[in-house]
Each structure stands twice: as C-alpha cells, then as structure tokens.
A = this chain, B = another copy of it.
Amino acid sequence: MDAQLKELEENIGKVPLIVKKWATEDPKLKEWITEMDKHVWSDGKLSSQTKKIIAVCVAAALRDRHAVRAQAAGASNLGVSFDEMEEALRVSFLLAGMPAYVYGRTAIDDLMKK
C-alpha cells in the first residue's frame, strides 16, 4: 500500500478495496478520490469519529449491506463504541424505518460480537 493510502487508512479507519484497485488501474482517479476522501473524513467542524457515525447511519438508511459493514468497521477503528453507533442508528430507524435500523444493528452486532 502506498504512503498516500496508508495515511488515508490511518485517518478514515478503512480504505475501500476499490480505491486500492484504482491505484493500479487508474492512478489519477485514485489520486483525486483519495485526496477528496482524506479531506472529507478528516477532523473539521465535526470530528472524524462523528462523520463515521453519520456514514453508518446513512448506509443503514440506504439498506446498503456492503457500506454499512465497511463504515462500521472504519468507525470502530477510530474508536467509536458499539453504544454510540447503536444510539445513532435509532435516528435511521425514525427516518428510514425499523428495517434500516436492523441493517445497521446487524452490522455492528456481527462486528462487535454482541
């Protein structure tokens, strides 16, 4: 993994596999997306932890089983707790229905062995 991807992984918790593929397939696309990703996920008005919690809730609301697992893993790597994610997912429940919560809850239960 090159230095840029390594720094990104430290900052955002988890680099999507696809960014690694683009590193060889299309280095320019990988470059812009990596820079953009680093910029979006880094601490700013909101902490990177808070942004990862948002990502988990958005992915759950979209019923996206790939993304919800990846984002939950990334959040956990940055120190976000099970209880923080569980509480946040209740917002997805209100906004997107009980099954959206189930998508997220299943991901964090699996990830954190509850």
Q: Which chain A residues have a beta carbon within 8 Å of chain B's beta carbons?
A: 16, 18, 21, 28-29, 32-33, 35-37, 39-40, 44-46, 50-51, 53-55, 57-59, 61-64, 66-67, 70-71, 81, 83-84, 87-88, 90-103, 105-106
Contact = CB atoms under 8 A, between A and B. Distances in A.
Identical chains bound together, number: 6
A64 B40 CA distance: 23
Main secondary structure of the interface of A (DSSP, over half): helix
A18 B98 contact: yes
A29 B37 contact: no
Contacts of A53: 46, 50, 54
A97 to B, nearest CB: 4
Given A32-B32, A96-B96, A97-B94, A16 B51 contact: no
